[in-house]
Amino acid sequence: MKIIHFSDPHAGGPAEDWLAYVDKRWVGVFNFTYRRKYQHDQSYLKKAVDYIIGQKPDLAVLSGDITSTGQPGEFKQQLDILAPLVRNSQIPLMYIPGNHDYYVYNKRCVDAMKHAVKFLNRDRFSFDDLPVKVGLGDCDFILVNESCPTNLLSSCGYLSRKSSDFIVKACSEKKDKPLVLVGHYPIIEDHPILRLRHRLWGEKEVARLLENKILDLSLCGHVHRPYAKTDDRGRGEVCAGSITRNGSVTVINYDKIKDVFNHEVVKL
């Protein structure tokens, strides 16, 4: 089974309404205007779409942060680029929102995020359905939302008790295939103090399942440099990094006969 994993393209732009100046969006707009737009090359997202369509994998995974402030115009920009993958190919796509996608409680922004979840997942489920378990090919996938609006200084995620219990229950059932978790935040945290403003909370039980190989693989983004923390059978965690910052995707192959995951970072 071949999976192409990409993440964090971070489209951005100006404030789209006056309310953006009284909620957290002004922080994201400022950050994009003076820093992020010089670090992220949006042309790489189209290159990723073209590459995926050309490679014809069994699955594409997009692990969040397609926007910078979760505004409708940012979502529209990215959905227009991603549309050929959704409408013109038969390649399954799984997308869960990142913290920049679910950035504020503004209704227009939340509605745009929920539309993106339904559109990119081809209406198989909605944001409000998460967490869900989806069987595809040689693996079973658990998709969770870990993102919600936070205070001005925080980029943390929160794995709710509902989501944690869902993962624990899925891991307790008879397993015929590897279980792959799709989320935005890393489950394995090497520097919890240094990354206090950026980490995932409520992850301890799931981290134990991942460490004990009961949960086979975690696919995530959030951290913009790609990495893999895996054992010799490919079990562990793979972060795709930012497609628009690194110009790369991660190609993951699962060999059912050998029961091994292999991954490769591919520059576009």
Averaged pLDDT for residues 85-108: 97
Q: Which residue in 5, 135, 4 sits closest to 57, CA to CA? A: 4
pLDDT of residue 62: 98
Does 194 have pLDDT greater than 90? no
204: Cα separation from own chain's centroid: 19
pLDDT of residue 190: 87
DSSP of 113-138, one letter per residue?
HHHHHHHHTTTS--GGG-SEEEEETT
pTM, two decimal places:
0.97
Averaged pLDDT for residues 224-245: 97
pLDDT digits (tens, 9 = 90+) for 46-62: 999 999 999 999 999 99
- The CATH label, of 3.60.21.10, 3.30.70.380, 3.30.365.10, 3.40.50.970, for the domain at 2-267 is 3.60.21.10
Q: Where are the beta strands (DSSP E) in the chain?
A: 2-6, 59-62, 93-95, 132-136, 139-143, 157-158, 179-182, 200-201, 217-220, 227-230, 236-239, 248-255, 260-267
65 dihedral zone (left: phi>0; alpha: psi -120 to 50; beta): left
End-to-end CA distance of the chain: 21
pLDDT tier for residue 193 given thresholds of 50, 70 and 90: confident
Averaged pLDDT for residues 5-25: 96
Sequence-distant (≥ 6) Cβ neighbours of residue 258 within 8 angstroms: none
- Tokens at 100, concatenated: 């920049």
